[in-house]
């Protein structure tokens, strides 16, 4: 068990990649902290992980609301006395071309994907610094590296997440905290619900593995980065896209 007794906070883990990760982390011996703004789904996730024999707790967290982040971290510290991993996984899209993008949609995506990661990392890093150890994993996207039609707000946040990763890896590395980014391609979750079928076919054809990825395939990489096997991996951006950019 690669994550035995590690306490791992995963934001946006009521669904999709985050949920697959909470399952994976618990199966590797971790205590998964399932955080989501969907309270009921988060609780269902924790209940199902416990039913499978894993350890998990659910928390209502809206990553844009610092108080909910602080309350969760305080409770986890009080209950479990350690935080080993933070996965800044919560993310949203609100797509529109430049000409049609509303200020509300711009702000909403920046607030969740970028400011949310800042809130969670700043609050958790204080506890990791006190212990002198930790792994922080940020979720970017290939859209953040290559851009994507109609996703200016999302691309800006996902590029920003890479900048944050490299900056925090420099600031925190000497204190025992590793910071890395995972860069998923197209993964079969609700986030693809709004993508038309013909566009999904194009995505599959553009990927050298000729398929969409599964949430578990990203969760496996998160688990590696959270584990001591990744002890010399810091400031890295690991693409999990089936080689779509080749």
- Annotated catalytic residues are 154
Distance CA 73, CA 104 (A): 29
Residue from 10, 179, 191, 207 that binds ligand NAD (CB under 6 A)? 191
Residue from 26, 27, 141, 151 that binds ligand NAD (CB under 6 A)? 141
Q: Establish if 139 lies at the interface with ligand NAD (CB under 6 A).
A: yes
Residue from 190, 196, 210, 231 that binds ligand NAD (CB under 6 A)? 190
Q: Give me the helix-helix angle, 66-80 and 116-131, nearest 10°.
A: 30
Q: How far is CA 32 from the centre of its chain?
A: 13
Q: Establish if 152 lies at the interface with ligand NAD (CB under 6 A).
A: no
Q: Residues 71-92, buried b or exposed e (16+ Cβ, 10 A)?
A: ebbeebbeeeeebbbbbbbbbb
Distance CA 166, CA 118 (A): 13
Residue from 54, 134, 160, 184 that binds ligand NAD (CB under 6 A)? 184
Interacting stretch for ligand NAD, rule CB under 6 A, among 79-87, 125-133, 184-192, 220-228? Answer: 184-192
Interacting stretch for ligand NAD, rule CB under 6 A, among 26-34, 62-70, 96-104, 123-131? Answer: 62-70
What's 212's DSSP letter?
P
Q: Establish if 62 lies at the interface with ligand NAD (CB under 6 A).
A: yes
Cβ atoms within 10 Å, residue 180: 24
- The site string for ligand NAD over 85-104 (x = CB under 6 A, - otherwise) reads ----xxxx------------
Distance CA 113, CA 88 (A): 9
Q: Establish if 153 lies at the interface with ligand NAD (CB under 6 A).
A: no
Q: Within 18-47, which residues bind ligand NAD (CB under 6 A)?
A: 18, 36-38
Q: Establish if 54 lies at the interface with ligand NAD (CB under 6 A).
A: no
3-state helix, strand, coil in the chain (%, to 5): 50, 15, 30
Q: Establish if 219 lies at the interface with ligand NAD (CB under 6 A).
A: no
| Largest CA-CA distance found in the chain, in angstroms, rounded | 50
DSSP readout, 67-98? HHHHHHHHHHHHHHS---EEEE-------B-G
Beta-bridge mates of residue 213: 187
Q: Establish if 61 lies at the interface with ligand NAD (CB under 6 A).
A: yes
Least separation in angstroms between CB 234 and ligand NAD: 21
Q: Establish if 12 lies at the interface with ligand NAD (CB under 6 A).
A: yes
- Interface positions with ligand NAD (CB under 6 A): 11-12, 14-18, 36-38, 61-64, 89-92, 112, 116, 139, 141, 184, 186-187, 189-192
């Amino acid at each position: 068990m690669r994550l035995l007794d590690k306490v791992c906070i995963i934001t946006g883990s009521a669904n999709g990649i985050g949920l697959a990760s909470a399952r994976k982390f618990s199966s590797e011996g971790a205590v998964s902290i399932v955080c989501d703004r969907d309270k009921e789904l988060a609780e269902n996730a924790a209940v199902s992980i416990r039913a499978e024999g894993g350890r998990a707790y659910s928390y209502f967290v809206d990553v844009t609301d610092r108080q909910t982040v602080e309350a969760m971290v305080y409770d986890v510290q009080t209950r479990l006395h350690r935080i080993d991993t933070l996965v800044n996984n919560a993310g949203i899209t609100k797509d529109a071309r430049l000409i049609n993008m509303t200020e509300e949609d711009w702000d909403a995506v920046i607030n969740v994907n970028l400011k949310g990661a800042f809130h969670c990392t700043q609050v958790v890093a204080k506890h990791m610094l006190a212990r002198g150890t930790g792994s922080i994993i940020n979720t970017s996207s290939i859209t953040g590296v290559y851009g994507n039609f109609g996703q200016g707000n999302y691309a800006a946040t996902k590029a920003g997440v890479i900048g944050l990763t490299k900056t925090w890896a420099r600031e925190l590395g000497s204190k025992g905290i590793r910071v890395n980014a995972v860069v998923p391609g197209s993964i079969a979750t609700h986030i693809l619900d709004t993508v038309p079928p013909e566009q999904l076919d194009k995505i599959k054809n553009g990927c050298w593995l000729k398929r969409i990825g599964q949430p578990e395939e990203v969760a496996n990489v998160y688990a590696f980065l959270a584990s001591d096997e990744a002890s010399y991996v810091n400031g890295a951006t690991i693409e999990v896209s089936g080689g779509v950019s080749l």
